[in-house]
Amino acid sequence: MGIQNLTVTTDLYIDGDERPAQHGRSYELYNPARPSELVGHAAAASHEDVDQAVQAGHRAFPAWSALSHRERAEHLRAVAQALSADEEDISNRSRLFTREHGKIIKETLMEMSRLGHRFIQVADYADRLAKDEEIAGGQFDTLVMRQARGVAALIVPWNWPLSILGAKLPQALIAGNTVVVKPSQNSALAPMQTLKIIASLLPPGVVNVISGSASEIGDSLVGHPLVRTVNFTGSVGIGRHVMKVAADNITPVTLELGGNDAAIVLEDAEFDAQTFFKMYKGAFASTGQICMAMKRLYVHESRYDEVVDGMLAACNSTVVGDGLLPETTMGPLNNAKQLKVVTDMIDEARAKGADVRECGDVPDQELYQGGGYFQKPTLVLNADDGLSVVRDEQFGPALPIMKFKTDQEAIARANDSEFGLCSSVWTPDAERAVAISRQLEAGYTYLNGHGPMAQDGFGPFGGFKNSGIGRNLGYDGVLGFTEAHSISGPAGFLL
């Protein structure tokens, strides 16, 4: 099993140097499948460490931002090449990631590989970014350039830290910003190792990495006077707090927060095994711990039984267990707190009379019942709209399935949420799909698919309402790390 039983230690990375936290402070991370198994120690940064990281980014900013977009793009391509060059290292970091996080090894390998692709994708924006917008025809000629802001604080959650990092880090860098990255304390070891590779390939201070408790150092980072933009992915509650702290310095923020994504299956939807596999992955990939996962499934009443049967079959094929085992298709949840959120919702639904179906195979019952954070994929059938599993974001392997009669009813119920991150519409009729999509209060709508495997990163990603403000990914995700700078002169002088 390679590194399965080895423990690792990760340090901070500041101004081109790997270093321990002040006073040698660190904290422990344990395996969610076996909570007594120590996986490693991560450095616990202090306020002083945060300040040193931001100061390093501030010093590096003038030289980095002075490079051309093409020069920065070449740095990004070199990073992408390094991230995919050593297969043994990728395997070791992926196995470590599974041990500290819980997700299955297939997903961790995919996440490791996706990060390099994102760097290449963003590098290809260089020429477009370098071209100023030209405005002529009035009393003045105007050039509109996009200017880097300065030090960007990038705060990454525990569920898909490397994929989400790929929606922030290359975008900040290509725009000319320097960065301080803070991974989640619940999933820091493999991300810290990966970030060290990236930072070591760039000039000192361009990428700085700190780890530790958000409650201890989060405000020091977000509220630092030299941080010029904050990009945060996480919960609504913490997002509100980030926005308040950043407001003291009028620091712009991008917030990608929770979601309670609705999927609408119309009466003309076409079903086969692949369709139900897409639905299943849309809801239950990464044990349901994905912000854009399908979390509410609305099905036209005429097709309800077909969908339930198809989803039950897909869920019953799940193999729950240790994510390092190749036969496992669903690992544990990441932490005890999130497990309780999900099991409380399931218990409430069952207590209120809902038809609750826990599915899947558990080959290792001793492991499953041994204190790990496991929960089988669970369907809540004919769920009442008032249940917490419908109203709130479960962020775990539980999916309510409800009937509807008309398109307008489905749209109204889908929009009846404080969230507005993603949604999906399932129909072979493209015109009808788009017409319904235009009425959904969501930042992203998938057609005949749902979730990470139904998007390619070229479109902007973010949400309405409590799902956040601003956008990551796509060209808009790069522009979010810039400010517009207009340069104007008399007509005929510039253009």
> Which residue is associated with the tokens 């922030």?
168
Instruction: Using alpha carbons only, give the angle 149, 455, 452 rounded to the nearest 5 degrees.
Output: 95
- Of 253, 239, 168, residue with least CA distance to 209: 168
Catalytic residue among 256, 315, 359, 393: 256
By the 8 A CB rule, do 242 and 447 touch? no
DSSP structure string for 126-143 = HHHHHSPEEE-SSSEEEE
Assess whether 256 carries a catalytic annotation: yes
Query: CA 43 to CA 328: how far, in whole Å?
Result: 31
Catalytic residue among 291, 315, 359, 422: 291
By the 8 A CB rule, do 262 and 296 touch? yes
- Of 75, 62, 63, 68, residue with least CA distance to 226: 62
By the 8 A CB rule, do 324 and 366 touch? no
> Which residue is associated with the tokens 């070591």?
200
By the 8 A CB rule, do 282 and 454 touch? yes
List, as own/partner pairs, every contact residues 453-456 make where C-beta atoms lie below 8 angstroms and the sequence separation is at least 24, other chains included. Answer: 453/278, 453/281, 453/282, 453/285, 454/278, 454/282, 454/424
- Of 488, 478, 471, residue with least CA distance to 128: 478
Burial grade of 418 (CB within 10 A; 0-12, 13-18, 19 or more): middle
Number of Cβ within a 10 Å radius of residue 273: 10
Q: Is 441 helix (H, G, I), strand (E, B) or coil?
A: coil
DSSP structure string for 457-487 = S-S-B--EETTEES-BSHHHHHHTTEEEEEE
Assess whether 348 carries a catalytic annotation: no
DSSP structure string for 91-124 = HHHHHHHHHHH---HHHHHHHHHHHHHHHHHHHT
* Overall size of the chain counted in residues: 495
Residue 224, phi then psi, degrees to nearest 5: -65, 135
- Of 463, 469, 477, 454, residue with least CA distance to 169: 477
By the 8 A CB rule, do 359 and 377 touch? yes
> Which residue is associated with the tokens 């990073």?
79
Query: CA 341 to CA 321: how far, in whole Å?
Result: 20
Q: Any idea which residues carry the catalytic annotation?
A: 256, 291
